[in-house]
Structure 1
């Protein structure tokens, strides 16, 4: 009988050790990159605009109501952004900090940040109107960050961190939705094709600039079907109450031009991965087949009427839907964190496919 209890004790101990090893292995997930650096607009801005003199902010409730501790951070959604979720999927911290946040210092410098600014775009005119950070200023802030990285950790660590990091840019929606299609001066100056080329020229300069700073893995996020955003339907197609097909066609054609640009310039960056990351197809599928993904509402956001509210129009006095997880959009312009999670999973799969493909580098 004593031997039976000893054997039982050994089995229990063995199971405990196996479980402990499994938990340790799970907790020590190997990151696929040293850091994540992102640039662009409100889809990736975790609060940089909090530190700017602009009305384009989300540092108040109900933004962030489903964030840890229910704290608004400046993220234009109810919880985490797609970049927070991508960072976690990549084996990095599950919250990507804002580069302008005073708390972004010390060891946090080593795993990346967002340099993006809500309402920013590829065109300077898109950003200047609302006093947010244009793309060139975002890159300048990255250079300042890199200098700080060198100062604190030395050239070798800084160069290794940057060279092994993932860089990503997500922009363009504000250029069209909040500039070209509402500003008669912009439309008078450019045809839609000329404006697209202007944005592509800015994107090309961005790629060159981050390459000069040591980037070796660069992801270019395409445009979403912005004609299906609740605000765009309300402003431009309220009678039919359906997606603005013209806008979606512009997004599709611009995405095709991004892919063509990447193929054209790739030989200029030997050994560098430049990848196109699609979000159009997944978001369009979610909007057209919401129940497949557990959603019920696609026409309006969770905040207020959901038809036009964003930024200060979505505020502590706004009526909020009962269950944001059933909504594709949080406000009239930005997805819920639940929708972002689905898109993040899809983008991460694309990223892994590019990284693991030996044919993607020259």
Structure 2
């Protein structure tokens, strides 16, 4: 075999091995995946940077947010690294970072495996979202429909329908409706009793489920309210002398969660082609706060950013010092969990809920 011919043969064989390796890896990934895509909606707990594209102060695209990513890049996620939905995506056999639907780079093959349509500071009620000029739940759904058109243009209508029908949808919102709306706006609490306001939110939840059902969703996870009375900022604002969780807010979360569970059972009958699961994040996060050493944490009263008592969003910025080891903290800032806490939540959500939906 002549030299040039041999060289070409070797080069071709190397390329063949590389392509074969990629094919095996893709097939392995495909076999491992429990869903075609992951679509999430809600607030800052699942927003990976959609608000970066909005004229709103509700952003986290600056240091020290994202400080524990390999490149220390602030993506818009309200934590030090990954969100629970990023980790959930990876556990499901999908990419380890769930992209923001409004990210200019969200195009091409990235469209195939899902996205987050969430918006920090949003809620079930439109007035909650409009306060800080962020995406209402209705607008998030509108953006999903626009995404679906892009997906259909790329893959064909039949393939787009198949991807959506084999995807997992998730919804995580509600805390802002109470913290930044009902209890922050005297007009709202005068206009509605707490029970009436909760009913308004539940109507929005039902409308959301109806919408994704119409879009062909077959699996949905509804994430309940966390014990937001245990957020450092809420303790500082409402129970600073005692220094413990503000139980009034926790009771609100518990009450709303009970109504959400009841509605979930009712919707299971109303939407027979849609499997709906409820995830009790309240119990998981409350256990982490009450028994931190069980999860490897030490600090539950303060966030890692600044004093940890009030700093969040623009108050947690590049001039704000942070703790040395966020892995020992349940909270990153005074409102949002660390990526370490999100990791524990995601693993629990995956094993307790997603595997149930996939069975």
Q: What TM-score do you get using the length of structure 1 for normalisation? A: 0.91
- Tell me the CA shift for residue 350 of structure 1: 2.0
In structure 2, the partner of 1:306 is 308
Match among 100, 103, 114 for residue 102 of structure 2: 100
Write out per-residue CA displacement over residues 280-325 of structure 1, whole angstroms, 9 at most, x where no aligned residue: 1110000001011111100010001111111110000001111111
Question: What is the distance in 2 between the residues matched to 1:323 and 1:228?
Answer: 21
Question: What is the distance in 2 between the residues matched to 1:85 and 1:30?
Answer: 15
Question: What is the distance in 1 between the residues matched to 2:188 and 2:29?
Answer: 51
- Tell me the CA shift for residue 353 of structure 1: 4.3
Write out per-residue CA displacement over residues 63-98 of structure 1, whole angstroms, 9 at most, x where no aligned residue: 000013110000000000000000000000000000
Write out per-residue CA displacement over residues 123-153 of structure 1, whole angstroms, 9 at most, x where no aligned residue: 0110001000000000000000000111111
Give secondary structure in 2 for the equivalent of 1:255. Answer: helix
Match among 132, 135, 138 for residue 133 of structure 1: 135
Q: What TM-score do you get using the length of structure 2 for normalisation? A: 0.91
CA 75–356 in structure 1, closer or farther in 2 if over 3 Å, else same: closer
Q: Are 2:232 and 2:302, in contact at CA under 8 Å, matched by a contact in 1?
A: yes
Q: Which moved more, 1:344-353 or 1:219-228?
A: 344-353
Correspondence 1:146 to 2:155 = no
In the TM superposition, 1:46-57 aligns within 5 A as 46-57=48-59
Over the aligned positions, Cα root-mean-square deviation in angstroms equals: 1.4
Correspondence 1:202 to 2:204 = yes
In structure 2, the partner of 1:169 is 171
Give secondary structure in 1 for the equivalent of 2:95. Answer: coil
Match among 136, 157, 160 for residue 158 of structure 1: 160
Q: Are 2:224 and 2:279, in contact at CA under 8 Å, matched by a contact in 1?
A: yes
In structure 2, the partner of 1:80 is 82
Number of residue equivalences: 336
Give secondary structure in 1 for the equivalent of 2:39. Answer: strand
Question: What is the distance in 2 between the residues matched to 1:265 and 1:273?
Answer: 9
Question: What is the distance in 1 between the residues matched to 2:358 and 2:137?
Answer: 29
In structure 1, the partner of 2:348 is 346
Match among 252, 255, 260 for residue 254 of structure 2: 252
Q: Are 2:29 and 2:93, in contact at CA under 8 Å, matched by a contact in 1?
A: no
Unaligned runs of 5+ in 2: 1-20
